Each structure stands twice: as structure tokens, then as C-alpha cells.
Chain A
């Protein structure tokens, strides 16, 4: 079956540091890939997505590139802010029939001023 593995947290960074949160997946075919974010006290919301190999999703300064050869979708940001403190979830859904949405375990990011 499909699965998503992401680095365990918490990840603690100082403001303006570079962020990478690793995500790798196992899936049949070529899934669509997502990063969702959960800010403190809020619900999950989509941060960015990529639907085919070599696509780059970007939003709010965050980027992730769909790498088929390494089955990865690592999340990066060049300069984090305190307001980026949240839990980040990598997820996938198949592009063929079916809509199962599979999540990784989540990575908590804490950014200190």
C-alpha cells in the first residue's frame, strides 16, 4: 500500500534560518503530493502541492519539488519566521482511480526569535 515517511520533530530553528523537512513516499504509479500545515489551535490547511514529476509547488516562501527518482517531496524555506511555527504534514493521493489520502506522521517546527 501507499505510505509517507517524514522526518521526526521537533525541528527547532532560529528566525531567518534555512528549513528543510524531509518527506519520502512509497506508492504505485505516480501520485499527487501535498504539504499541509496546522498552525497552533487551527485546522489543517493546504500549503502547497505537486501533481507530476519535476513539478515544484510553492506558497508563502515554501517550496517542494516532486522527485520521482528519489520518491521525495522535501519542504524547504530559505528564511523562516516565528509565524511559521506549526506542524507540517506530507501527504499523497493516487492519480489513478481512487482518492485515498495518506499522511506522514507530521513534523513540528518551532522557530525562535
Chain B
């Protein structure tokens, strides 16, 4: 597609349920990032995929969070047993894999509300 696509755009879930958030990066982009943005706040890094390398999971806040990237393209972020503090906008971005100053392109985000 022309840009980074995220789905769903909005998700309301009950506390304790599992949710899956999807990211379709720009074709050919080997680097993919997930961030979380709480209301009016900055970007909190969650996880980063680079090609076939092991992902950098250092930002995942708990073991309830996991992510995978299948075939080097689509990525899914899964949150198990959701809590109210998980409510935020989850942003995905992709970049060309070459090191250096290439631009990251962001999706519109998934707004997750846990009630």
C-alpha cells in the first residue's frame, strides 16, 4: 500500500480480555517499530523488528505484551489480559532497513480503550 496501515483504528475491550493490533508496513521496509502514546504524552518504545534479526523487545512493559512479524511484513501486537493502564494509542512505523537517516513512516494508530 501507499503508507503504513494499522487496524483496527479504534478498539474498546473489557478488562481481562486479549486484543490483537495489526500493522501493515510499507512494502520493502525491513525495519518495523511499535510505540505507545498515552493521552497528551510522548512516545513509549515497545518493540523493534529489523529484517530476520531477533527483535528488540526491551520496551515491552510486561509479559502480557508480545509481538510477531510474519514473513518480514505484517506485524501483530498482542496484549493479554488487558488492564485499564493499557489504554493508549498504539503506533506502528516502518523504515527502509539501511542504517542512517532514512525517514520512518507512521500509521494512524490504534486507539485502545480498556473498560
Contact = CB atoms under 8 A, between A and B. Distances in A.
Interface of A: 32, 34, 36, 42-46, 49-51, 89, 93-106, 108
In the complex, the 10 A-B pairs of residues with the closest C-beta atoms, listed nearest first = A32-B101, A51-B101, A105-B42, A106-B42, A44-B106, A99-B31, A103-B43, A46-B103, A43-B106, A95-B100
Interface residues of B, number: 24
Contacts of B104: 34, 36, 46, 101
Contact of A98 (B50, B103, B108): B50
Interface stretch (B17-25, B61-69, B70-78, B91-99): B91-99
B41 to A, nearest CB: 7
B103 to A, nearest CB: 5
Given A51-B101, A94-B99, A99 B106 contact: no
B99 A95 contact: yes
5 contacts: A34-B104, A42-B108, A51-B101, A103-B45, A105-B42
B42 A99 contact: no
A99 B101 contact: no
Contacts of B48: 99-101
Interface of B: 31, 33, 35, 40-43, 45, 48, 50, 56, 91, 93, 95, 97, 99-101, 103-104, 106-109
B101 A103 contact: no
Contact of A99 (B35, B40, B41, B97): B97
A93 B43 contact: no
B99 A96 contact: yes
Nearest to A107: B42
Contacts of B50: 98-99
Contacts of A51: 100-101
Contacts of B101: 32, 34, 49-51, 93, 95
